[in-house]
């Protein structure tokens, strides 16, 4: 498993903490040399009220696994993690600092396992002693135009919370493919995963994007997206549901999970098209329909002058789903599909570019 | 009914929240059109909209007194439709079930519920005439896809301004020499409420719920609000149900940001350099544009025209903001204002010409 050591070797450890597993990877420069998904004990994941309390067992699992895999951790120069719910910031690569850790521990904008990213990489980098800790393009990347911040009521500013990491990586990858600079392109990028966010990338900045965490936009495998406001208010005041129950309807148990009892898109697709389940077909198609509508809405950001529409994320593996979107939006711009979306690679490549001096390292303040 | 389109006298009745408008036509010619306004003080003595019936009838009869001779030839009284359950687009003869439905605000309370009730009272006095309402709020031609929201507890509803949408669509079809049923149109009705509908071959297959659901914010309504934040505010204990309802309708949008619902006032502020007013006003146009862009995909980009109507379509500035965003998507046609009275007349003539889709309101709509 060991790569040949060269003087220019940048060995990077990537840490991506998810619901009850942690994905880790080792990159030697841009080459993936190790990848593993560490499944944690479900009891461990549920026994703490705060997700941050899962820090210790996840840290141990990572270090134990690297040891078991016989990885030479002394060569690691950078440890990079998913960024969490920090204060809104510009896209880029950030070295983990005390203020960042403070914000994640004391006032995160949302409670999610990704908040562990910065804390875990900082801890591991300190354990290693010779490595630096980074995060890159956390979900709170905020490059919105002022006009996109205005909602229909001043109590509810529109916020930028989206899959910045994958959207940016996909957009940059496409720009490279076209031998153009990301900073001069006009793109719409739809990340189609457990959550769905559609961003308007105006010459390197995501100037508008649906708030895909618990705000608005298309529904997704686990999230409800836009809900009719008046009906939602009536439901909240009906006395039939607790705050937590309504929050779960919006995020976690919404979307496909609520309609079909599963968040598994390929399962719903099978039910719809192989087993003749009419509801499954309707919901599957409605999800694509709503993604298309979001893409159409964002096309006005560019008044129709855009280079391409990019579809990425896990659901982009479904040819049927992708085709249903393409049929509705192809009149706007050419559509390119990049299924999957490798967060591990995106994190590693961002840090590598910074280590090579190709991109700047930003400071969280 | 003796149907002679040219001789029939038509009475249109349009009760709004602060006024009642009426018009008397012979054929397409206007014999009289007038309006009586109702001050909040006058209306405050009534507990419900239904209780205003006699009061408003009296006001209308006073307006019509000089035209008594025409009333004997009246054959149609067309009231503005109120809030109905989901129904097809068309013309509804008044009947007991419909009166009962409107009088008891079964879908919701709104001054327009009086339209059909007032028309019916008229035809009790002038028994040769028939009472109708047309294209009420509740017209529902949604594709099944458009009904699906992100959670089965919430069904997307067809809740918009069908009277003006449909009238403008037919007017446009007439002007371009086509049938409404052969056209794909995006129509944005931009008034106190804003609704953007995708008209596919004569059917409004998707439209934002402009009452309190989703879509662009408006001079007084909030449109789409972030779901999680809204739910948390509801459970915060800091606001009553009524207060939050007011944020969404009546006290949202321009009013919440700028303290006025008057677009002309906002434009005056922009002219004298009020940047905040400009940002908010542009944001409203931006959201309307986004909704239009979304509706384009509903029609897979096959759109014969974008029609802007309602009071805001009078504003060159506002229309200009929208044009900058969607000008390349398709051709824009302006039908400024909201000609509800004209729509009542057009629908009445469809009856006389035998072209109306007459729908009898019965039990099938109540299930």
Domain shared by A86 and A216, yes or no: no
Residues of A in Cβ contact (< 8 Å) with B241 = 233-234, 237
Has residue A239 been placed in a domain?
A: yes
Q: Is residue A338 part of a domain?
A: no
Q: Which of A144, A145, A149, A151 to mutate to test the interface with B (most CBs of B within 10 A)?
A: A151
Residue B301 located in a structural domain: yes
Nearest to B151 by CA among A23, A259, A45: A259
Contact A298 B290 (CB under 8 A): yes
Distance from CA of A227 to the nearest CA of B (A): 6
Q: Kindly determine whether residue B224 and residue A330, on different chains, have CB atoms separated by under 8 Å.
A: no
Could you read off the pLDDT of A37-49 as tens digits, one per residue? 999 998 888 888 8
Locate the chain A residue with the closest alpha carbon to B155: A228
A117 and A220 together in one domain:
no
**What pLDDT sits at residue A33?**
96
Structural domain count of chain A: 2
The percentage of residues in chain B with a pLDDT greater than 70, rounded to a whole number, is 99
Q: Are strands A93-95 and A76-82 parallel, antiparallel or unpaired?
A: unpaired
B106, B181: one domain:
no
Beta-strand (E) ranges in chain B? 9-15, 19-26, 29-37, 74-80, 83-87, 91-93, 130-134, 137-139, 184-190, 194-200, 203-207, 305-310, 332-336
Nearest to B136 by CA among B361, B306, B337: B361
Q: What is the mean pLDDT of residues A267-279?
A: 98
What is the nearest CA distance from B209 to chain A, expressed in angstroms?
8
Q: Residue B355 class from Cβ within 10 Å (0-12 exposed, 13-18 middle, 19+ buried)?
A: exposed
* Among the partner residues A243, A303, A331, nearest to B327 by beta-carbon distance: A303
Q: List the single range of A2-6, B43-47, B362-366 with lowest mean pLDDT.
A: A2-6
Q: Which residues in A lie closer than 8 A to residue B325 (C-beta atoms)? A: 300-301, 303
* pLDDT value at B33 more than 80: yes
Residues A199 and A315 in one domain: yes
pLDDT for position A273: 98
CB contact under 8 A, B213 and A230: yes
* Together in a domain, B112 and B204: no
Per-residue confidence band for A7, with pLDDT thresholds at 50, 70 and 90: low
The segment with the largest mean pLDDT, out of A3-17, B98-112, B297-311, is B297-311
B40 occurs within a structural domain = yes
Given pLDDT bands bounded at 50, 70 and 90, which one contains residue B3? Answer: low
> What are the residues facing A215 on neighbouring strands?
none
Mean pLDDT of chain A: 94
Q: Are residues A235 and A195 in the same domain?
A: yes
> Does B217 contact A151 at a Cβ distance shorter than 8 Å?
yes
A247 by DSSP, 3-state: which? helix
Same domain, A216 and A195: yes
With respect to residue B289, please indicate whether it lies within any of the assigned structural domains: yes
Report yes or no for ipTM above 0.90: yes
- Same structural domain for residues B178 and B295? yes
Stretch A282-289: mean pLDDT, rounded? 98
Domain membership of residue A355 as a residue range:
11-140+344-362
Q: How confident is the model at residue A104 (pLDDT cuts 50, 70, 90)?
A: very high
Q: Is residue B151 part of a domain?
A: no
Using CA atoms, how far apart are residues A351 and A334, in angstroms rounded to an integer?
31
- Mutation target to probe the A interface, by most A beta carbons within 10 A, among B108, B142, B225 is B225
- Residues of chain B with pLDDT > 90, as a percent, come to 90
B133/B244 same-domain check: no
pLDDT at B17: 83
pLDDT surpassing 80 at residue B11? yes
Q: Based on the fold, state whether residues A33 and A111 are members of the same structural domain.
A: yes
Burial of B297 (0-12, 13-18, 19+ CB in 10 A): buried
Inter-chain touch A232–B248, beta carbons under 8 Å: no
Q: Do A136 and A217 fall into the same domain? A: no
Tell me the pLDDT tens digit for each residue of A145-162: 999 999 999 999 999 999
Does residue B149 sit within a domain?
Answer: no
On whether both B129 and B226 belong to a single domain, the answer is no
From B184, B163, B280, select the one nearest A158 (Cα to Cα): B280
Residue A6 lies in a domain: no
Q: Is the pLDDT of residue A6 over 60?
A: no
Residues in chain B closer than 8 A to A304 (CB atoms): 326, 328-329
* Residues B122 and B225 occupy one common structural domain: no
pLDDT of B233 > 70? The answer is yes
How many angstroms separate the CA of residue A15 from the nearest CA in chain B? 29
Residue A302 domain-assigned? yes
CATH number for the domain spanning B39: value is: 3.30.420.40
Where would I find the H helices in A300-342? 319-329
A200 assigned to some structural domain? yes
B355 and B326 in one domain?
no
* Domain presence at residue B1: no
Tell me: pLDDT of A24 over 80. Answer: yes
Q: Is the pLDDT of residue A5 over 70?
A: no
B180 and B323 part of one domain: yes
Residues of A in contact with B154 (CB under 8 A): 224, 227-228, 231-232, 235
Q: What is the pLDDT of residues B308-332, one digit of tens each?
A: 999 999 999 999 999 999 999 999 9
Structural domains in chain B (count): 2
Give the bridge partners for B33, in sequence order: B23
Is there a contact between B247 and A153 if contact means CB atoms under 8 Å apart?
Answer: yes
| Alpha carbon of A195: minimum distance to chain B alpha carbons (Å) | 12
Is the predicted pLDDT of residue A3 greater than 60, yes or no?
Answer: no
A209, A252: one domain: yes
Q: Do A310 and A183 share a domain, yes or no?
A: yes
pLDDT digits (tens, 9 = 90+) for B171-225: 999 999 999 999 999 999 999 999 999 999 999 999 999 988 999 999 999 999 9
Domain ranges, residue B252: 162-337
For residues B114 and B203, membership in a common domain is answered with no
Contacts with A303 from chain B: Cβ below 8 Å: 324-328
Cβ distance of A230 and B249 shorter than 8 Å: yes
Helices (H), B2-133: 40-44, 53-64, 68-71, 96-103, 113-125
Question: B350 and B329 in one domain?
Answer: no
Domain co-membership, B225 together with B238: yes
My answer on whether A206 and A129 are in the same domain is no
pLDDT at A50: 87
List of residues 6+ apart from B73 with CB closer than 8 A:
B7, B8, B9, B26
Q: What is the mean pLDDT of residues B250-261?
A: 95
Phi and psi at residue B10, to the nearest 5°: -115, 135
The residues, any chain, with a CB within 8 Å of residue B12's CB and separated by 6 or more, are: B21, B22, B23, B24, B25, B77, B78, B79, B341, B344, B345, B348
Confidence (pLDDT) at A4: 46
Residues B210 and B112 grouped into a single domain: no
**CATH number of the domain within which A63 lies:** 3.30.420.40
Looking at the structure, do residues A171 and A47 belong to the same domain, yes or no?
Answer: no
Same domain, A160 and A113: no
**What band does B96 get if pLDDT is binned at 50, 70 and 90?**
very high
> What local confidence, expressed as pLDDT, does residue B211 receive?
86
Q: Is the pLDDT of residue A18 over 50?
A: yes
Query: Best mutation site among B145, B205, B231, B302 for testing chain A: the one with the most A CBs within 10 Å?
Result: B231
Inter-chain touch A298–B293, beta carbons under 8 Å: yes
- From chain B, the residues in CB contact with A259 under 8 A are 148, 151-152
pLDDT confidence tier of residue A204, bands split at 50, 70 and 90: very high
């Amino acid at each position: 498993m060991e790569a040949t050591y060269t003087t220019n070797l940048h060995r990077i450890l990537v840490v991506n903490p998810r619901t009850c597993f942690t994905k880790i990877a080792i990159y030697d420069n841009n080459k993936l040399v190790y990848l593993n998904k560490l499944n944690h004990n479900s009891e461990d994941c549920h026994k703490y009220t705060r997700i941050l309390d899962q820090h210790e067992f996840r840290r141990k699992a990572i270090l134990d696994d690297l040891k078991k895999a016989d990885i030479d951790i002394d060569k690691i120069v950078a440890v990079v993690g998913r960024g969490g719910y920090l204060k809104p910031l510009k896209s880029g690569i950030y070295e983990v600092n005390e203020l960042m850790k403070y914000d994640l521990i004391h006032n995160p904008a949302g409670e999610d396992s990704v908040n562990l990213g910065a804390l875990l990489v900082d801890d591991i980098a300190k354990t290693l002693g010779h490595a630096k800790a980074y995060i890159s393009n956390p979900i709170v990347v905020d490059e919105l135009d002022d006009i996109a911040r205005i909602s229909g009521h001043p109590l509810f500013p529109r916020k930028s919370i989206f899959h910045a990491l994958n959207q940016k990586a996909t957009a940059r990858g496409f720009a490279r493919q076209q031998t153009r600079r990301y900073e001069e392109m006009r793109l719409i990028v739809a990340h189609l995963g457990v959550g769905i966010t559609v961003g308007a990338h105006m010459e390197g900045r995501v100037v508008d994007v649906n708030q895909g965490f618990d705000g608005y936009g298309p529904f997704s495998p686990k999230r409800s997206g836009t809900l009719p406001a008046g009906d939602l208010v009536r439901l909240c005041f009906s006395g039939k549901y607790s705050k937590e129950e309504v929050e779960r309807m919006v995020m976690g148990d919404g979307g496909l999970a609520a309609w079909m009892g599963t968040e598994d898109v390929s399962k719903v697709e099978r039910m719809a098209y192989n087993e003749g389940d009419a509801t499954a077909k309707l919901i599957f198609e409605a999800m694509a329909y709503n993604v298309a509508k979001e893409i159409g809405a964002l096309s006005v950001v560019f008044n129709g002058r855009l280079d391409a529409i990019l579809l990425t994320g896990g659901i982009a593996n479904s040819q049927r789903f992708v085709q249903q979107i393409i049929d509705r939006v192809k009149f706007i711009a050419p559509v390119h599909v990049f299924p999957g979306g490798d967060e591990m690679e995106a994190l590693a490549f961002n840090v590598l570019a910074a280590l090579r001096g190709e991109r700047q390292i930003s400071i969280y303040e | 009914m003796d149907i002679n389109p040219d001789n029939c006298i038509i009475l249109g009745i349009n009760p709004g929240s602060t006024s009642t408008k009426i018009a008397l036509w012979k054929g397409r010619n206007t014999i009289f059109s007038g309006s009586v306004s109702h001050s909040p003080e006058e209306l405050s003595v009534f507990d419900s909209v239904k209780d205003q019936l006699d009061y408003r009838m009296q006001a209308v009869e006073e307006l019509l007194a000089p035209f008594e001779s025409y009333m004997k030839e009246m054959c149609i009284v067309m009231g503005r439709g109120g809030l109905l359950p989901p129904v097809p687009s068309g013309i509804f003869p008044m009947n007991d079930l419909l009166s009962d439905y409107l009088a008891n605000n079964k879908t919701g309370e709104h001054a327009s519920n009086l339209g059909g009730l007032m028309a019916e009272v008229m035809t009790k006095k002038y028994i040769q005439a028939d009472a109708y309402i047309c294209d009420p709020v509740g017209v529902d031609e949604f594709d099944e896809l458009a009904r699906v929201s992100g959670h089965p507890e919430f069904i997307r509803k067809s809740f918009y301004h069908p009277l003006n949408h449909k009238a403008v669509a037919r007017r446009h079809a007439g002007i371009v020499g086509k049938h409404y049923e052969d056209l794909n149109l995006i129509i944005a009705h931009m008034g106190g409420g804003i609704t953007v509908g995708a008209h596919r071959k004569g059917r409004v297959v998707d439209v934002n719920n402009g009452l309190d659901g989703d879509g662009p914010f408006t001079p007084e309504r909030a449109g789409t609000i972030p779901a999680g934040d809204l739910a948390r505010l509801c459970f915060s204990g800091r606001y009553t149900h009524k207060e939050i309802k007011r944020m969404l309708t009546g006290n949202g949008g321009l009013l919440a940001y700028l303290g006025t619902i008057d677009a002309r006032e906002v434009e005056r502020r922009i002219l004298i350099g009020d940047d905040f007013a400009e940002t908010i006003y542009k944001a409203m146009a931006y959201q309307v544009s986004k909704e239009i862009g979304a509706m384009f995909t509903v029609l897979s980009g096959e759109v014969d025209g974008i029609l802007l109507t309602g009071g805001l379509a009078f504003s060159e500035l506002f229309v200009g903001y929208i044009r900058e965003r969607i000008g390349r998507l398709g051709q824009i046609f302006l039908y400024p204002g909201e000609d509800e009275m004209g729509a009542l007349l057009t629908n009445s003539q469809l009856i006389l010409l035998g072209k109306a889709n007459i729908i009898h309101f019965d039990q099938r709509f109540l299930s």
